[in-house]
Amino acid sequence: MPGNLYIVSAPSGAGKTSLVKALLEADPKVHLSISHTTRPPRPGESNGRDYFFVSKEDFIEMEKKGEFLESAHVHGNHYGTSRKWIEAERMKGNDILLEIDWQGARQVRKLVSNTIGIFILPPSIEALRARLTGRGQDSMDVIDRRVAAAREEMAHVDEFDYVIINDDMEEAKKDLSSIIRAERLKKKIQIEAHREMIKALT
């Protein structure tokens, strides 16, 4: 039985990265999608683990051939999610998780009808601003722009199947894991996975 395809989206400061990291550490059957990118590797990054690093020419050629489920141009570099890689991993029975924004999620849903969308929200704008300020990385002007961008992103929350309010990190981790477990227990998946056993029982 093919694995599920999950999309996790959230505004900056909602805690998505920490939640996804915790899920991947706790559940070996969930694999993070590895994107293709035209940007050069950063120190410590390796091809096939962090990204698939390709030339701009190769990326554009792949894009023309329709090899990406979704793609984006960010800060002068191209990023794309390989349709072939995801299909191969899912056929191995692995659940695949994409960390992309609502726009990328729309692109993927057009091509993969049974995609499961999860949106992570902060408990309030004040909490979001406090988290962004607490990083100590940006000026107040930059934080104001990030908050404004977050409001725009959060306006698309109704396009997703599940919503997690990240007020308490430990509870949010449980919520994310619960979604994965619940999807695996759906009737269609269980009947396919345990067909002979269920036949014998009925």
Helix H, strand E, coil C: the string for 143-185 is HHHHHHHHHHHHCCHHHCCEEEECCCHHHHHHHHHHHHHHHHC
Identify the CATH number of the domain defined by range 5-33+94-201: 3.40.50.300
pTM recorded for the entire structure: 0.89
pLDDT in tens, the chain (202 residues): 889 999 999 998 999 999 999 999 999 999 999 999 999 999 999 999 999 999 999 999 999 999 999 998 888 899 999 999 999 999 999 999 999 999 999 999 999 989 999 999 999 999 999 999 988 777 888 899 989 999 999 999 999 999 999 999 999 999 999 999 999 999 999 999 899 999 999 9
